Chains A and B, each alone.
Chain A
Amino acid sequence: DIQMTQSPSSLSASVGDRVTITCRASQGISNFVAWFQQKPGEAPKSLIYAASHLLSGVPSTFSGSGSGTDFTLTISSLQPEDFATYYCQQYTSYPHTFGQGTKLEIK
């Protein structure tokens, strides 16, 4: 199975900050990475697919990049509603493994 290692596991930041979450795959996966946001008590929400393609309705403050083994999710200016847990997922091969999550908290 392909392992997806996210870092950091938790992060404290302030409104307006720029934050970056990274995800490293245990082997090359081209750009077959998706990113998700989950708020407490809610179902996950899909944000990005194919490493960098923002889904409709997702604010442009979110961006994704990377290819091969290293991927990043960047939020350019944190808004109060962005404080949540974020997950990456690879979908190049089965099982479609997730990273362990990054909890983004208000400083």
Chain B
Amino acid sequence: QVQLVQSGAEVKKPGASVRVSCKASGYTFTDYSIHWVRQAPGEGLEWMGRINPHSGGTNYSQKFQGRVTMTRDRSISTAYIDLTRLRSDDTAIYYCCLLGGQFNWGQGTLVSVSS
């Protein structure tokens, strides 16, 4: 069955960077784009961007342009999101998900940013 398994929780200081991984299984990794969505405490869902695992092509929300990079390693069916220059309002649960063809979500990764 399709599964997306994310890396564990992270605690970072303001100004630092974070990388969250998302390991896919149960389907052909290059068939579907992987999207990243985040959710701040008590807030709604916010789409951050997506990566095409086949080509590596990306589309980012303008809000995160310049701070976010999405990459993938096809050899291990894993996608990554890097977020730099972290601020306290980046504290959120970060999800990877499939939003076409397959419609599965990872379990989420809590990133806490605090001095």
Q: Report which A residues bind B (CB closer than 8 A).
A: 1, 34, 36, 38, 43-46, 49, 55, 87, 89, 91, 94-101
Contacts and interface: CB of A to CB of B under 8 A. Distances in A.
Interface string B26-46: 000000000101000000111
Given A94-B61, A95-B62, A96-B99, A46 B47 contact: no
12 contacts: A34-B103, A43-B108, A44-B45, A44-B97, A44-B105, A46-B97, A49-B100, A87-B44, A87-B45, A89-B45, A95-B59, A100-B44
Interface of B: 35, 37, 44-47, 49-50, 59, 61-63, 95, 97, 99-100, 103-108
A33 to B, nearest CB: 12
B44 A46 contact: no
A104 B115 CA distance: 36
A46 B105 contact: yes
A46 B95 contact: no
A96 B35 contact: yes
Q: SS class of chain A's interface: helix, strand, loop or mixed?
A: loop
Nearest to B104: A46
Contacts of A45: 105
Given A87-B44, A101-B45, A43 B62 contact: no
A98 B44 contact: yes
B99 A91 contact: yes
